[in-house]
DNA sequence: CTGTTTACTGATTGATTGATCAGTTTATAG
DNA sequence: CTATAAACTGATCAATCAATCAGTAAACAG
């Protein structure tokens, strides 16, 4: 699975074949369908592994926040830090999200449900509103905007003059203003 | 090329083969490499067509704005309206961006240059700062955040309770606060 | 009508894909 | 040490891919 992540990140989804993965892992290509029965299953397991590790990291940082505002800050900071420190994992995540298909044939990032990645953020925003710390707004749409601003960083992070810390500071500033009463 | 866009949006990059495109266009598969010499060239031309049409639409809306604040509003509104009215074009754009490779082998969305899609937005922000209308911030990073918030809408637009107009209004509100002095 | 260019087709090629399977090696259990 | 199960390999399969090419149909110019 580590070799799968590397291959996805380096070669892209299209070129991530059993042969390519096996070459990196230095195993026979036929060993993969022996363990995973299916390519889709290999991808699904890989995705699950990445998502779990990422969620755990972000949540671990978020819970240390005393207020909703602090938790929002840490959410942004941790998400961007994850991208900065594990770009390979995130690259693999994107490759899967934009190429893998659910059993019904729909692309994963367009699946009707799967708001799982947004629930933590939404709950932070809702808590802030209940506490009277944040102004009134739609938590779902605000969460989409925040998440988009975070995700966009990955495509830009390798370009000259773009680094984690200043972008994190900017995002925190932007969305602190956005939720402030 | 219309068939190419449809195939990309419906089937995904992986399944967008000469055979699939030809079936939709009701032509022989071998006619495509006759006109385009290369699959990469077909994709490049398709991408250029989509990008040009999109840029023209957004720019047409933006120039009608009297102030930088108005132009920013129209940029957000027009970008989201484009996604809402031409989801097929945007889906194809994403498929290409996350799968096609530049001649040097790098995936397009990670290419070092190609800030072309951001220049208009950056120039709006810089103008607003020069006019004293906007506060001091890094225009490039602000543009990345805005663009991310816009792009994220595409993945969420088909989910229940998410529509163009309210999301556009929210984004305008968020980033008006973000750039305000 | 004729000659020539252009548009188009169907057949075919070599390479790569995911997957299966018979057989071999390694680990584990008694 | 032996027997059984698990891990693993290499050969092989049909399907699909981009691309080539010889040959046909259509458009067009004089």
pLDDT of A45 > 90? The answer is yes
| Counted domains in chain A | 1
Quick one: pLDDT at residue A40?
A: 93
pLDDT of B112 > 70? The answer is no
B39 found inside a domain? no
CATH number at residue B144: 1.10.357.10
Quick one: pLDDT at residue B113?
A: 62
From the alpha carbon of A30, which nucleotide's C1' atom is closest?
D9
Which residue ranges have CB below 7 A from strand C?
Answer: A 15-20, 29-30, 33-34, 37-40; B 27-31, 34-35
Strand partners, B101: B107
Q: Which residues contact A168 (CB under 8 A, 6 or more apart)?
A: A76, A77, A80, A81
Cα–Cα distance, A146 to A142 (Å, whole number): 6
Q: What are phi and psi of A107, to 5 degrees?
A: -65, 145
Label residue A90 exposed, middle or buried (CB < 10 Å: 0-12, 13-18, 19+): buried
Q: How confident is the model at residue A112 (pLDDT cuts 50, 70, 90)?
A: low
Best residue in B102, B141, B172 for a mutation probing chain A (most A CBs within 10 Å):
B141
Q: What is the pTM of this model?
A: 0.93
Quick one: pLDDT at residue A174?
A: 98
Give the side-chain half-sphere CA count within 13 A for B171: 32
Report the percentage of chain A scoring pLDDT > 90: 83
pLDDT per position as a tens digit, A20-43: 999 999 999 999 999 998 899 999
Label residue A16 exposed, middle or buried (CB < 10 Å: 0-12, 13-18, 19+): buried
- Which of chain A's residues have a Cβ under 8 Å away from the Cβ of B17? none
Quick one: pLDDT at residue B54?
A: 94
Cα–Cα distance, B100 to B122 (Å, whole number): 26
Quick one: pLDDT at residue B149?
A: 98
- Closest-CA distance of chain B to residue A177, Å: 6
- Closest-CA distance of chain B to residue A147, Å: 7
Residue of chain B minimizing CA distance to A162: B141
Quick one: pLDDT at residue A114?
A: 61
For chain B, give the number of residues: 181
Higher pLDDT, B42 or B116: B42
Nearest protein residue to nucleotide C8, judged by CA and C1' positions:
B31
Quick one: pLDDT at residue A113?
A: 60
Q: How confident is the model at residue A80 (pLDDT cuts 50, 70, 90)?
A: very high
Which of B135, B149, B117, B127 is CA-nearest to residue A175? B149
Chain A, chain B: beta-carbon pairs less than 8 Å apart: 117
Residue of chain A minimizing CA distance to B176: A178
Report the percentage of chain B scoring pLDDT > 90: 83
Best residue in B143, B166, B170, B179 for a mutation probing chain A (most A CBs within 10 Å):
B170
pLDDT per position as a tens digit, A153-174: 998 998 887 999 999 999 999 9
B94 close contact with A: CB closer than 8 A: yes
- Which helix or strand (DSSP H or E) is residue B87 part of? helix B87-97
Q: Which range of residues forms the domain containing residue B155? A: 50-179
B104 close contact with A: CB closer than 8 A: no
Higher pLDDT, B146 or B162: B146
Cα–Cα distance, B23 to B6 (Å, whole number): 11
Tell me the longest C-alpha to C-alpha distance in chain A. Answer: 60
pLDDT per position as a tens digit, B40-79: 999 999 999 999 999 999 999 999 999 999 999 999 999 9
Q: Which positions on chain D have an atom < 7 Å from some protein CB?
A: 7-11, 16-22
């Amino acid at each position: 699975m580590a070799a799968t992540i590397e291959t996805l990140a380096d070669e892209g989804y299209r070129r991530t074949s059993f042969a390519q993965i096996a070459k990196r892992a230095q195993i026979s290509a036929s060993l993969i369908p022996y363990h995973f029965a299916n390519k889709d299953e290999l991808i699904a397991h890989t995705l699950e592994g990445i998502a779990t590790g990422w969620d755990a990291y972000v949540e671990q940082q978020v819970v240390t926040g005393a207020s909703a505002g602090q938790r929002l800050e840490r959410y942004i900071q941790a998400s961007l830090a994850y991208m900065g420190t594990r770009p390979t994992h995130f690259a693999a995540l994107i490759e899967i999200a934009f190429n893998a298909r659910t059993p019904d044939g729909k692309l994963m990032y367009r699946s009707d449900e799967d708001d799982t990645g947004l629930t933590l953020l939404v709950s932070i925003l809702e808590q802030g509103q209940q506490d009277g710390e944040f102004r009134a707004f739609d938590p779902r749409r605000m969460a989409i905007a925040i998440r988009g601003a975070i995700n966009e960083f990955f495509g830009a992070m390798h370009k000259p003059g773009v680094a984690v810390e200043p972008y994190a500071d900017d995002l925190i500033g932007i969305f602190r203003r956005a939720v402030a009463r």
